[in-house]
Every structure is written in structure tokens, then in C-alpha cells.
Amino acid sequence: MRIVIAPDSFKESLSATEVASAMAEGALAGCGEASIDLCPMADGGEGTVEAMVAATGGQFRTADVFDPLGAPIRARYGLLGRASQPGLPGEIGLIGAKLASEGESGGETGRTAIIEMAAASGLALVPLDKRDPRATTTFGTGQLIMAALDDGATEIIIGIGGSATTDGGCGCAQALGVTFVNTDGEPAICGLGGEGLADIAGIDITGRDPRLDAASVRVACDVANPLTGAQGAAWVYGPQKGATPEMVALLDDGLRHLAEVIRRSLDIDVEYLPGAGAAGGLGAGLVAFAGAKLERGVKMISEVVALSARLADADLCITGEGKLDSQSVHGKTAYGVAELARAAGVPVICIAGVVEAHESHDIFAGVRALVEGEVTVKQAMQTPEPLLVDRTAEAVRNFLRK
């Protein structure tokens, strides 16, 4: 029996790699003759770099960059390898997952880099009392892109969840060599934040790193918000980043002004592009300043880790995420994996931390929750691995009995 294990992380509990390893142990307990292919997954949010490096046997890299407030930090990104073959019966494939987690090479690396903007420009990097999207910048994310280019990457995948910023991607663009000219005709200072958008009068891309012209930049994005307006970057996400109602109005005005300058200077219209408002407008900025393409995160990541090919001769797929509910169907990992498995004719079991009843869960051949019976959320968060092993073993045994 061949089993592909492709879960997301259980946020604030286990990484996707750790979840997959625990599920593999449970699957072997439930069916000792199984060969296991570990394929940790993500949807572009937190944990995307770790999952994709592990799933392809790639390598981690680090770069010295600036955080959202301009302080120096060291941030991690990844160079992807190639997915290894599944193991023999009773073994676990993709040994590169273990090596990558230890900081070693897990196989040949290619020229695809994977970046999480949150590693350089994330909300978690800013103390609560200093959160102010008027000041925070994506400059460090641009530095990570430059580091990936220096590593020879010709394809760059960027997950843009968890941002601390509402700068329309202008800080990132400055790190890439784009110059923003202010109303005095002078170049704007590096590290533009949301407050500086209103002063932009022109955009000069002649100094942008020429390697971007030959590179493919793909953005893993699981929201469809436009750049401006009631559903835009400032109004929907600004308050989460420390913005007061007055700041939100200022930021939205700045983003609207930026969109107009981009139209005038670059002949590109990003204002109402679905996903443009992601990460405080970084979605729009990457399209305008780096020629990026916005894509559904789980779909793109499934393609990069060759999930469809890995499912082609599988007998069972096991996926999971922290919470399975009515929102999971809208671009989350478990449903994205299930859709690909269904297309390949492979049944799917889902193991989640918490499961809320919903008719769409019928896509799965079996669903189990860590939190059930006498197990509380607190207990599941504190000791998730043994619960994952037990629930997976039980689910596999039930599947085999059918």
C-alpha cells in the first residue's frame, strides 16, 4: 500500500514537517506494509518555506536584512530541491525532510527559491507597542528577493501572509532598485512605509535589478482583496497591524494615490486586481514592480512539489490542518489536497486539530479530530504528536476495514 502524506502545519503547535512525520508513524502502525511519501504542504502563509524545502529535499539559506522597523535581523529563505522517491514498504520516503530541518542539504537544489515575506516584514517581528503600519516597511522582503537572485534563482515563489506593513510593496521595490520620486523632485528615503505613499509623485524603474527581467516571480496568495476601498488592504487588515480608524483612512488614501501613480508612470492598473491588497498591498507592488503573478497558494505549491504526480499511483492520501471548518473549502490546504487526490482517484483521510461539522467534509473518506472525547483544545495543543499518531492509526485501520 502506498500512502502520500500531505498536511499543512497545525499553527502554534507543529510545523507541516512535524505533522507529516507523526502521521507517517500512525499510518505505519495502522498498516505496517505501507510505503510512505512525505509531502509537507502549505498555502502560502506561515510555514511555507519549511514545508516546501522539506517536501522537495531542498536547502535553507539565510540573509541579513532589515525588519519592518529598519532594525537588522537575519532571515531565512529556501532553495528548493527535487522530491525524492517514496520509501520501500514499511519505510518513509523523502529523507531530505529530516536533513533539511537540520540545516543540511536534502538533495540537489534547483534554481527555485521560496520566500516568506513574514520572515523579514512580518507582524510577529514588531512588538505590540510599536505596531504602526504608517512606519513599517517591506524593504527586508526586497532584500530577501535580492539574496535569492544572488543565489542564482530564476524562479522566486513568495508567500505573503502575516505582514506588519501597508506600504503597497514600495519598500520592497526600493530594495530591488526602484526609485520613488517625491513632490520635491527628490528620491524618497529607503524603507518607505504607509505614511510616505501620499508624497510619491513619480516612479523610476531604470535602476531595478535587471535579473528580474529574466526571473519568474510567483506570489502565493489566498485572499482576493483589492488594493483600496472597503475590502482593501487598509480597511480590512490595517487594524490588525495597529492602525486606528484615522490611520486606516490615511493609509487607504495613500494606497489609492499610489495606484494612480503606478497607472500614470508604468501603465499598469493594480488597484482592483484580486489579491492586490494582500500583505498591505505587497501583492499589488510585486505585480507592478517585479512583474509578479498572483496565484492561489495551495494550487501553486501543489504544482511545485509535484503533488499530482506523487498521487498518481497512490492508494491513499492523508492530509490535515489545525482547524477544519466551513472556511477550509476556500483555498485552504486540506481541501486543495483533497481536490487533487479526487482527480487522481485517490481516497483522502483528513486529520485536524478541531473539526466543525460541515457538509463539504464529504470530500474526505474519513475525518478525525485531535479534540474529541475527553481531549481538550489545551491538551491537543500541548501534546499533539502522540494524538496525531493515534488518530492517524485509527483512521487508517477504519479505512482498511471498509
Q: Residue 11 sits in a domain of what CATH number?
A: 3.40.50.10350
**Together in a domain, 332 and 192:** no
**Together in a domain, 35 and 55:** no
Residue 83: band (very low, low, confident or very high) from pLDDT cuts 50, 70, 90: low
Range ranked top by mean pLDDT from 26-30, 91-95, 331-335: 26-30
Residue 109 has pLDDT above 50, yes or no: no
Residue 401 has pLDDT above 70, yes or no: yes
In a domain, 303, yes or no: no
Last residue of a domain, one of 298, 331, 346: 298
The residue to which cell 505614511 is assigned:
195
Residue 59: band (very low, low, confident or very high) from pLDDT cuts 50, 70, 90: very high
Tell me what the mean pLDDT of segment 357-377 comes to: 90
In a domain, 340, yes or no: yes
**Together in a domain, 61 and 114:** yes
Q: What is the pLDDT of residue 44?
A: 84
Q: What is the pLDDT of residue 103?
A: 39
In a domain, 304, yes or no: no
Instruction: Round to whole Å and give the CA distance between 73 and 67.
Output: 6
Residue 96 has pLDDT above 80, yes or no: no
How many domains does the chain fold into?
2
Residue 99: band (very low, low, confident or very high) from pLDDT cuts 50, 70, 90: very low
Strand-pair partners of 156: 113, 217
The residue that leads in pLDDT, 353 or 357, is 353
pLDDT tens by residue, 200-242? 999 999 999 999 999 999 999 878 899 999 999 999 999 999 9
Domain span at residue 350 reads 2-41+311-401
In a domain, 36, yes or no: yes
Q: Which of 300, 320, 303, 306 is nearest to 368 (CA)?
A: 320
Strand order in the sheet with 59-66: 59-66, 72-79, 112-116, 155-159, 216-221, 293-296
CATH label of the domain that carries residue 212: 3.90.1510.10
**Together in a domain, 19 and 60:** no
Tell me what the mean pLDDT of segment 54-73 comes to: 95
Last residue of a domain, one of 298, 325, 343: 298
